[in-house]
Amino acid sequence: MFDSVWKATGAIFSKDFKVIKSQGFSTLLLFLFLLALGLLYGLMYQNVFDQNIHWTPLPVFIFDETGSSEPGFAEDLLSPDRFPFIELHKAFSSLDFEEGLANQKNAVGLLIKEEEGQTKIYWRSVGEKSIEKNILFQAIEKGVEEALWHTRTYAILGPRAADFMTEWEILAARPLIREVPREDIRVLSSLEYYLISLFTGFCILFTTEFVRDREQRLIARSFTAGIRKSTLYWSNFLSNFVLVFAVALVYFTIVFGIFLRIPVPLGPFFGAVIVQAMVVSAFQSLLGGVCKNRKVELVISLLALFTMLYLGGAFFPVEVMALERIAEFMPNFQLFKLYEGLVLGHPGLDATRLGILFAQSAVMALVGWFVFKKSEVL
């Protein structure tokens, strides 16, 4: 059995390698496309997450008709520490306020009035819409909501409100505080996350020959050579593994060595790449077993790719989406954690992650083997 698997693996690997070589230009283009996607994401990442926005100064005129001499709610909210683009002007009369606004091409006026026993804030905008005005408006809305909550709490609870508010602040702060080891503060960024996820999903797309062979009845013809279903299936798995390992090694050497410039220990790095190749070839085998033609394969692999990218945290951090539990099921998330361990200088590879990835690979490969029916290759 092992002898025939070994010989068949040699034949299939040699054939797959020759096929890839014969399609050298398109294979190279696909690989460059993968690298280009990484670069494009890097560009986007730099502009979105590491913003370097040039704020336009926004004059804000405030007139408080209620006549309060203490710094009011709006002045507290609009401190220059929070909004560096604001130029705050306090008006002392309605005329001041109106004149101030009239002399500006682009400004905001906040008129605070007492009406029917309620304090109301009126928003006046001069000039075009802008990102600064938008941010300011949202901040005021949120501030008002919070103020209302406080007011109502005091109105309902009376003297007990102060104690309640203290308790509440402690409770509200708790989920946001997470005690983490100091070293874990150095986690990989979204960019690195994306690069790992992208490869995991993407190489599913460009190394599967099994479904194509199946569609063109080459698998059926191979069966007439007396080769068993299990021999053919596992030989394809091994052949894919070798090819993916080679591609992954090149890709991650470029990612860590050129893109990210993060030194990683070589031994665990090779180990991680081997695990990566195992996961990808298991997924390819699953596709080979499930998909009868390339159209179905493309749809399923794209679905898997984008599910992994979105829910595995490639586009947005998992914590932001509160989807950590779902992410645990994504091989790319587990692989990311494995590579993260390398970057953080952990000794060896995380055994738990390895266990999960082995289990995921085994399930995928075995399901593919179980579903793959010899009679359906005709």
Partner 1 sequence: MYEISIQNVTKRYDDQLALDNVSLRIEEGEIFGLLGPNGAGKTTLIHLLCGLIGMDSGDILIGGRSMKKSPEKLKALIGYVPQEIVLFDTLTVKDNLEYFGRLYHLSGTRLKEKIQSALAITGLKDHHKQKVKKMSGGMKRRLNIACAILHDPKILVLDEPTVGVDPQSRNHILEAIREMNRTQKMTVLYTSHYMEEAEALCDRLMILDLGKELVQGTKTEIIRTVTNESVVEILTDYLPTGITEAFQEVPGVKKASVRDGKIHLIVDSSDPIVEKAVRLLDGLEVKVRNLSVDNPTLETVFLSITGKALRD
Asked if 226 interacts with partner 1 (CB under 8 A), we say yes
| CB contact burial 153-162 (16+ within 10 A = b; e otherwise) | beeeeeeebe
Contact residue for partner 1 among 150, 152, 186, 221 (CB under 8 A)? 221
Contact residue for partner 1 among 48, 180, 185, 378 (CB under 8 A)? 378
Q: Distance between CA atoms of 216 and 209, rounded to whole angstroms?
A: 11
At closest approach, how far in Å is the CB of 251 from partner 1? 24
The region of 55-63, 77-85, 217-225, 250-258 touching partner 1 under the rule CB under 8 A is 217-225
- Hey, which residues does 58 pair with through a beta bridge? 86
At closest approach, how far in Å is the CB of 232 from partner 1? 9
Query: Which runs of consecutive H residues, i.e. helices, occur in the chain?
Result: 2-22, 24-48, 73-77, 94-102, 131-157, 161-173, 190-206, 210-215, 218-223, 229-254, 266-290, 294-311, 318-321, 324-327, 331-343, 351-371
Asked if 293 interacts with partner 1 (CB under 8 A), we say no
Asked if 220 interacts with partner 1 (CB under 8 A), we say yes
Determine contact, residues 342/268, Cβ cutoff 8 Å: yes
Is the CB of 35 or the CB of 218 nearer to partner 1?
Answer: 218
Residues in region 23-42 near partner 1 by CB under 8 A: 23
The region of 65-73, 119-127, 218-226, 265-273 touching partner 1 under the rule CB under 8 A is 218-226
Q: From 192, 181, 346, select the one nearest 269 (Cα to Cα).
A: 346
The region of 9-17, 97-105, 135-143, 274-282 touching partner 1 under the rule CB under 8 A is 9-17
Contact residue for partner 1 among 51, 69, 118, 375 (CB under 8 A)? 375
User: Are β-strands 118-126 and 107-115 bridged in parallel, bridged antiparallel, or unpaired?
Assistant: antiparallel
Residues contacting residue 258 through CB under 8 Å, at least 6 positions apart? none
Q: Distance between CA atoms of 46 and 39, rounded to whole angstroms?
A: 10
Asked if 292 interacts with partner 1 (CB under 8 A), we say no
Contact residue for partner 1 among 134, 216, 230, 293 (CB under 8 A)? 216
Please provide residue 146's backbone torsions phi and psi, each rounded to the nearest 5 degrees.
-65, -40
| Interface ranges with partner 1 (CB under 8 A) | 4, 7-8, 10-11, 14-15, 18-19, 22-23, 216-218, 220-228, 374-375, 377-378
